[in-house]
């Protein structure tokens, strides 16, 4: 957009030219160009960048209410505000997603679809202990039978049978795996 004078910019904003001069003096908006003609200095303002700076640097509580109706100029919101809003929406989305996942986990745990990892570890430990005890009991049960056997195939058949019985007992659920 083309550069405009202070008075032109004040008309565009719907404020007095003195308000624009004060904004320049306080550093709230920047002058884009100045020209010196004799003893007078003429300032020119880029309306787009000045609108953004005005919106960012002006305290809303310091704005005076005017007596007559003034049409507000169309001002784009500063990019930081739009980005901040976007970041807020992103953070809120992440938070809501987290809450939904947490609620889903709680529901699945209560409905029995999910169980606590610590309970699984305890159950697995108990099952492994049962398997170990069943396997270690085999020699005590069949040592006298094997001592009497002279046929190698019969010894093997007896061992396979006893191992199969010990493992099948666990697989069929005849041995309690629940532990305490």
Rounded to whole angstroms, the Cα distance separating 124 from 11 reads: 80
Question: What confidence category does residue 84 fall into, taking pLDDT thresholds of 50, 70 and 90?
Answer: low
Does the residue 102 lie in any domain? Answer: no
Q: Label the pairing between strands 33-37 and 4-5.
A: unpaired
State whether residue 135 is helix, strand or coil: helix
Does the residue 101 lie in any domain? Answer: no
Please check whether residue 166 is in contact with residue 138, taking contact to mean a CB–CB distance below 8 angstroms: yes
Does the residue 100 lie in any domain? Answer: no
Question: What confidence category does residue 89 fall into, taking pLDDT thresholds of 50, 70 and 90?
Answer: confident
Q: What share of the chain is helix, strand, coil (3-state, %, to 5)?
A: 65, 5, 30
Rounded to whole angstroms, the Cα distance separating 167 from 76 reads: 76
pLDDT tens, 93-132? 999 999 999 998 888 888 877 777 888 888 888 888 888 8
Lowest mean pLDDT among 30-34, 52-56, 132-136, 176-180: 176-180
Position 175 scores a pLDDT of: 54
- Among residues 38, 62, 86, the one where a domain terminates is 62
CB atoms within 10 A of CB 56: 14
Whole domain around residue 144: which residue ranges? Answer: 117-171
pTM listed for this prediction? 0.35
């Amino acid at each position: 957009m083309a550069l405009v004078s202070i008075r032109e910019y004040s008309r565009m904003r719907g404020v007095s030219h003195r308000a624009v001069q004060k904004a320049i003096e306080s550093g709230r908006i920047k002058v884009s160009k100045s020209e010196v003609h004799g003893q007078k200095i003429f300032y020119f303002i880029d309306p787009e960048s000045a609108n953004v700076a005005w919106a960012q640097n002006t305290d809303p509580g310091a704005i005076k209410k005017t007596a007559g109706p003034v049409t507000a100029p169309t001002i784009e919101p500063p990019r930081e505000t739009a980005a901040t809003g976007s970041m807020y929406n992103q953070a809120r989305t992440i938070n809501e997603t987290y809450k939904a996942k947490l609620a889903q986990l709680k529901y699945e745990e209560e409905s029995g679809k999910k169980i606590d990892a610590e309970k699984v570890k305890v159950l697995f430990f108990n099952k492994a202990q049962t398997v170990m005890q069943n396997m270690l009991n085999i020699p005590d049960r069949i040592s006298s039978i094997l001592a009497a056997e002279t046929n190698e195939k019969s010894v093997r058949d007896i061992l396979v049978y006893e191992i199969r019985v010990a493992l099948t007992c666990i697989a069929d659920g005849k041995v309690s795996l629940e532990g305490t």
